Amino acid sequence: MISFNLICDNDHEFEGWFQNSASFDAQSAKKRVECPVCGSRKVQKALSAPNIATSRSKAAASKEKAGKVAAAQKQMVAMMRDHVKENCDYVGAAFAEEARKIHYGESEERGIYGESSVEEAKELVEEGIDVAPIPWMEESSEH
């Protein structure tokens, strides 16, 4: 496996792992490499300097990389939250009940989100109702 620093046409920099350089080239040509920030498929390798690290600089680089990964993950969760809020109805604690109504045709079919207990979620899955837990964060915790 090889890691490449990548950049999209919107100047978002991110890291990608590939089997080898040819694998990146093939996936990129088929538009299968996507920016995790904006979804652009116009991605290319970014300029990067060789890194010859000492033990101390390896630890600092590792900590910096972990921080960047955490920031990217946080941004992706925020984007997912925004997408769900814009495209689905919030049903709060009535999530399990409303999911059942939709599944059994008692309520209009639409995307919903809300809260349920683990037990309620298990029961929905056992009934064949498609549900999935999603990571969530309030808007104020992004900053």
With a cut of 70, say whether residue 61 has pLDDT above it: yes
The Cα–Cα gap between 61 and 41 comes to: 28
pLDDT over 90, % of the chain: 47
With a cut of 90, say whether residue 89 has pLDDT above it: yes
Per-residue pLDDT at 138: 78
With a cut of 50, say whether residue 143 has pLDDT above it: no
pLDDT class for 54, splitting at 50, 70, 90?
low
Q: Which helix (H) or strand (E) holds 85?
A: helix 55-87
Can you tell me the mean pLDDT for 109-129? 94
Per-residue tokens: 26: 């093939």
Q: Is the pTM of this model over 0.85?
A: no
The Cα–Cα gap between 139 and 51 comes to: 37
Can you tell me the mean pLDDT for 74-85? 89
Per-residue tokens: 15: 């890291």
With a cut of 60, say whether residue 53 has pLDDT above it: no
Q: Are 17 and 3 in contact (CB under 8 A)?
A: yes
Read off the DSSP letter of residue 113.
E
Domain edges within the chain: 2-75, 88-137
